[in-house]
């Protein structure tokens, strides 16, 4: 059975713009086809799945698509048949202190503060409760803690100071490293091995800095150079590797300011990376090593201050 | 950077950015810094932005209550694009409500989400600049005023 819709209606339903819906259809994020009269068609089950994903109530009866596996479990949950046996769960793996279970008042203020509450049928309150009940495996497998941006809006709103962000990060850290989504673990591994997330070789980096410095001289900063490994400079500047990789001209903003302010600054020739994805992947050990390298550079060069333009 | 301005090491002009501007509070500099280190950097970025932009309008809510751009915590690099855009709808609405044409982002990650994603997805028609980009573009360099004027005209 097909569900017929206008891009603008679906856009309003989800809270994005029409062109975003069209984009999602084009890229397959929404599995729909163009239909007659500027309308689109998608399988009704897909529509219900989409509503489920963004925490919306479908405009059709959920039972219309009961044959689909994901929907079936949803319908069962609604009928109260879906129970998880909590008796044999360890409850102290995510919270060492059992009193946490009493600290959370289950008021749901955190969920109200969260812009993606309802996505995948989860929100901060549910995740805190699941953690209290020891549902570690379910949470570690869930992609929700990775869709969360750890913005701390929930925690800021929580009347009981539950450490929700630390919980999210802990859930991320408990994933096996080869199951960390996207490139962030790979970036950490590359950074540990080669000094920056994108593996830019030292020679290429230094050549680029010289090249850009020459451009700066022509662009109204006479005598400008990038001081590399300058001992005794006041300020050590780290660099986001995306800039030398893809947006090199963006480095000039800071440089222009330094030049004008007559700042005594320097860039390290090695371990100059300013991005630390260990923070996001939940990898304390690597995060510490990467921070340690920056501290080493500060000590080696005798700098007084650090600029991490992140 | 605030030191440079206050000590007179650099001079800034509001003539380069006459449009209405707003300032995005990154979670990490504000709310999370306050929690982790006991101090949230809310005012510094605003003082600097106002030095460069006379027509300034804060988003609502702001500072510790500000909404995330939607791409924090590594989300810009993670593969959940639809969720990231959905997340950003709140930010997009906040920006739209200010009527600002220029949004200042003091964070790499927020700037990419605002400039490369939300601007397009939500038809915001805004310009997004890094805080340091705004300062670099507002510098008054002795003897170079004429050249700078030309740049604005372009």
pLDDT in tens, A155-185: 999 999 899 999 999 999 999 999 999 999 9
Q: Does A280 touch chain B (CB under 8 A)?
A: yes
What pLDDT shows up at residue A76? 61
Report if residue A153 sits inside a domain. Answer: yes
Q: What is the ipTM of this complex?
A: 0.91
Q: Does A29 touch chain B (CB under 8 A)?
A: yes
Note whether A210 and A303 are same-domain residues.
yes
Count interface pairs A-B at CB distance under 8 A: 144
Whole-number Å distance between alpha carbons of A258 and B106: 17
Q: Is the per-residue pLDDT at A74 higher than 90?
A: no
Total tally of structural domains belonging to chain A: 3
Report if residue A87 sits inside a domain. Answer: no
Return the number of other C-beta atoms located less than 10 Å from residue A166's C-beta.
Answer: 14
Q: Which domain holds residue A215?
A: 184-307
Note whether A204 and A166 are same-domain residues.
no
Q: Which domain holds residue B93?
A: 18-143
Cα distances (angstroms) measured from residue A88 to each of A92, A130, A141, A175: 12, 14, 19, 22
Report if residue A85 sits inside a domain. Answer: no
Note whether A280 and A209 are same-domain residues.
yes
What pLDDT shows up at residue B87? 97
Q: Are A163 and A155 in contact (CB under 8 A)?
A: yes
Tokens read off for B107 = 């964070």
Report if residue B7 sits inside a domain. Answer: no
Q: Are A51 and A44 in contact (CB under 8 A)?
A: no
Give the ranges where B18-138 is alpha helix by DSSP (H).
31-37, 43-52, 81-98, 108-112, 119-121, 131-138
- Out of B1, B72, B81, name the one closest to residue A257 (CB): B1
pLDDT tens digits for range A3-55: 999 999 999 999 999 999 999 999 999 999 998 888 999 999 899 989 888 88
Report if residue A93 sits inside a domain. Answer: no
Length of chain A: 310
Note whether A20 and A126 are same-domain residues.
no
pLDDT tens digits for range A86-113: 777 777 778 766 667 678 999 999 999 9
Q: Are A232 and A224 in contact (CB under 8 A)?
A: no
Taking alpha carbons only, the member of A110, A206, A215, A190 closest to residue A155 is A110
Q: Are B104 and B45 in contact (CB under 8 A)?
A: yes
- Out of B70, B108, B147, name the one closest to residue A115 (CB): B70
Which residues touch A157 (CB under 8 Å, ≥6 apart)? A109, A110, A112, A113
Is A20 close to B133, i.e. CB distance below 8 A?
Answer: no
Report if residue A83 sits inside a domain. Answer: no
Q: Are B52 and B133 in contact (CB under 8 A)?
A: no
Whole-number Å distance between alpha carbons of A21 and A9: 10
Report if residue B131 sits inside a domain. Answer: yes
Tokens read off for A173 = 């850290």
CATH code (residue B47) = 3.40.50
Q: Is the per-residue pLDDT at B152 higher than 60?
A: no
Whole-number Å distance between alpha carbons of B68 and B51: 24
Q: At what angle do helices A44-53 and A69-78 cross, to 10 degrees?
A: 60
What pLDDT shows up at residue B50? 97
Report if residue B150 sits inside a domain. Answer: no
Report if residue A89 sits inside a domain. Answer: no
Dihedral, CA of residue A53, residue A58, residue A63 and residue A67, to nearest 10: -40
Is B4 close to A261, i.e. CB distance below 8 A?
Answer: yes
- Out of A53, A242, A261, name the one closest to residue B10 (CB): A261
Total tally of structural domains belonging to chain B: 1
Is B86 close to A119, i.e. CB distance below 8 A?
Answer: yes
pLDDT tens digits for range B101-139: 999 999 999 999 999 999 999 999 999 999 999 999 999
Tokens read off for A213 = 């410095």
pLDDT tens digits for range B5-60: 999 999 999 999 999 999 999 999 999 999 999 999 999 999 999 999 999 999 99
Note whether A110 and A19 are same-domain residues.
no
Rg (CA), chain A: 25
Q: Based on the number of CB atoms within 10 Å of its own CB, is B8 exposed (0-12), middle (13-18) or buried (19 or more)?
A: exposed
Whole-number Å distance between alpha carbons of B152 and B154: 5
Q: Are B57 and B23 in contact (CB under 8 A)?
A: no
pLDDT tens digits for range B83-95: 999 999 999 999 9
Tokens 């749901």 belong to A108
Note whether A188 and A164 are same-domain residues.
no
Report if residue B56 sits inside a domain. Answer: yes
């Amino acid at each position: 059975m097909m569900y017929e819709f206008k891009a603008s209606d679906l856009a309003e339903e989800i809270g994005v713009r029409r062109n975003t819906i069209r984009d999602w259809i084009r890229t397959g994020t929404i599995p729909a086809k163009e239909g007659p009269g500027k309308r689109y068609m998608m399988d009704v089950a897909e529509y219900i799945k989409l509503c489920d994903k963004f925490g919306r109530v479908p405009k059709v009866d959920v039972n219309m698509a009961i044959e689909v596996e994901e929907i079936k479990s949803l319908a069962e949950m609604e009928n109260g048949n879906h129970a998880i046996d909590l008796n044999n769960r360890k409850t102290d793996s995510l919270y060492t202190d059992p009193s946490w279970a009493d600290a959370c008042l289950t008021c749901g203020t955190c969920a109200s503060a969260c812009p993606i509450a309802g996505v995948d049928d989860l929100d901060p309150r549910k995740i805190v409760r699941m953690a209290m009940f020891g549902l570690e495996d379910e949470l570690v497998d869930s992609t929700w803690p990775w869709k969360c941006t750890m913005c701390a809006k929930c925690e800021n709103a929580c009347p009981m100071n539950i450490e929700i962000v630390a919980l999210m990060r802990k859930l991320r850290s408990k994933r096996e490293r080869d199951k960390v989504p996207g490139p962030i673990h790979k970036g950490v591994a590359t950074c540990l091995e080669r000094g920056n997330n994108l593996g830019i070789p030292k020679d290429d980096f230094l050549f680029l800095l010289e090249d850009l410095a020459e451009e700066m001289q022509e662009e109204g900063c006479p005598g400008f150079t990038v001081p590399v490994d300058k001992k005794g400079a006041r300020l050590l500047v780290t660099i986001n590797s995306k800039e030398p990789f893809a947006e090199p001209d963006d480095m000039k903003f800071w440089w222009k300011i330094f030049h004008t302010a007559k700042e005594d600054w320097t860039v390290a020739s090695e371990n100059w990376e300013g991005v630390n994805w260990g923070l996001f992947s939940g990898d304390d050990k690597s995060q510490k090593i990467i921070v340690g390298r920056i501290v080493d550079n500060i000590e080696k060069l005798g700098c007084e201050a650090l600029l991490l333009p992140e | 950077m605030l030191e440079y301005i206050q000590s007179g090491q650099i001079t800034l002009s509001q003539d380069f950015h006459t449009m209405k501007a707003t300032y995005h509070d990154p979670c990490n500099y504000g709310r999370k810094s306050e929690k982790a280190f006991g101090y949230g950097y809310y005012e510094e970025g605003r003082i600097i932005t106002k030095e460069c932009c006379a027509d300034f309008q804060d988003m609502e809510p702001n500072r510790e209550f500000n909404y995330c751009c939607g791409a924090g915590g590594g989300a810009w690099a993670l593969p959940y694009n639809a969720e990231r855009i959905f997340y950003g709808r709140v930010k997009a609405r906040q920006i739209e409500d200010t009527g600002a044409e220029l949004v200042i982002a003091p964070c790499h990650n927020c700037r990419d989400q605002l400039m490369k994603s939300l601007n397009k997805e939500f038809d915001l028609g805004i310009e997004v600049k890094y805080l340091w980009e705004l300062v670099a573009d507002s510098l008054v360099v002795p003897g170079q005023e004429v050249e700078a004027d030309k740049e604005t005209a372009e």
